[in-house]
Amino acid sequence: MSLFKMASVAAIALTLGACQSLFQPNYRAPLETTRDASEQLQPGCKAQDCPLVNIDVVHFPNEPQLDAIVEKRLLQLTRTSPDAPVAPTLAAYREQFLRNAGPRNSSYLQAKVREQHDGLVIIELSSYLDTGGAHGTPGRGFINYSRQQQKVLTLSDMLVPGQEEAFWKAAQVAHNSWLISTKLDQEQEFVKSWPFQKTQHVALTYGAVILKYDVSTIAPYALGHVELKIPYPRLNGILKPELFPGRN
């Protein structure tokens, strides 16, 4: 092949590569986000302890289906029992809550982006329902959204098939590390009263896999939402390789 032909082939290859990259999503660049925050009091209320609803939510202009997922998950956090119905929209929930709420009642809902990396969008969900008691009921949750797969990843999606038991053993090691770091391992009554449990709140953050616990599950209410961290090296052979930061 002549040098001219070789140069032509190389030029065509470069052109095709450039064109291909232009039409593929750049997963290294984070998704654009906007924020919508509002607080509304019960209509007509003039007292100092008017019921209110505070909603602070993130939107994704270029990923509308993710907006719908976030709204649905926030609405699930408004449930006061596992089988309770939920409103169809956040606006409908706000109207419903304020219509029925009593003095000092309040509801807070928030969705924020915790991280974006490797084509993943990690969203943290928060809720707090105050019905006038000694303390309110806080809730938490995560969404691990894969931009490549256009879906929310479940724990089964994250793990190598057959490795769920190994994952929870790694989580128990993280729990022991947390007990030691907080010196709670020295309190035998605490260890006995608050044993390790599984959680549905798992996040693939860049620094570690995070497990978050609802209050009063593995620690008293006063300690809030406990977070356990599993370093990625401990998940070799357990977590799917493409989900390790920097590998995809």
The contacts of residue 231 (CB under 8 Å, 6+ apart) are 208
Greater pLDDT, 24 or 106: 106
The answer on pLDDT for 88 being more than 50 is: yes
| Residue 5 located in a structural domain | no
Q: How far apart are CA 163 and CA 149, in angstroms?
A: 22
User: Given this model, what pLDDT does residue 18 score?
Assistant: 47
pLDDT, tens only, 119-160: 999 999 999 999 987 789 999 999 999 999 999 999 999 999
Q: What SS3 class is residue 60?
A: coil
167 and 136 co-located in one domain: no
One-character DSSP codes across 65-91? HHHHHHHHHHHHTT-SSTT----SSHH
pLDDT tops 90 at residue 224: yes
Q: What is the pLDDT of residue 145?
A: 98
Q: What is the mean pLDDT of residues 204-227?
A: 97
Domain that holds residue 161: 155-243
Answer yes or no: is pLDDT of 110 > 60: yes
Q: Would you state the structure tokens that stand for residue 39, as one six-digit string?
A: 């607080």
Does residue 16 fall inside a structural domain?
Answer: no
Number of domains in the chain: 2
Query: Which domain CATH number covers 57?
Result: 3.30.565.40
CATH of the domain at 178: 3.90.640.20
**CA dist 156 → 83, 160, 163, 214, 234 (Å):** 24, 8, 9, 21, 18
Contact 86, 92 (CB under 8 A): no
Position 21 scores a pLDDT of 45
Residue 22 included in any domain: no
The stretch 162-186 carries a mean pLDDT of 97
pTM listed for this prediction: 0.87
Torsion angles phi and psi, residue 48, rounded to 5: -80, -20
Contact 25, 38 (CB under 8 A): no
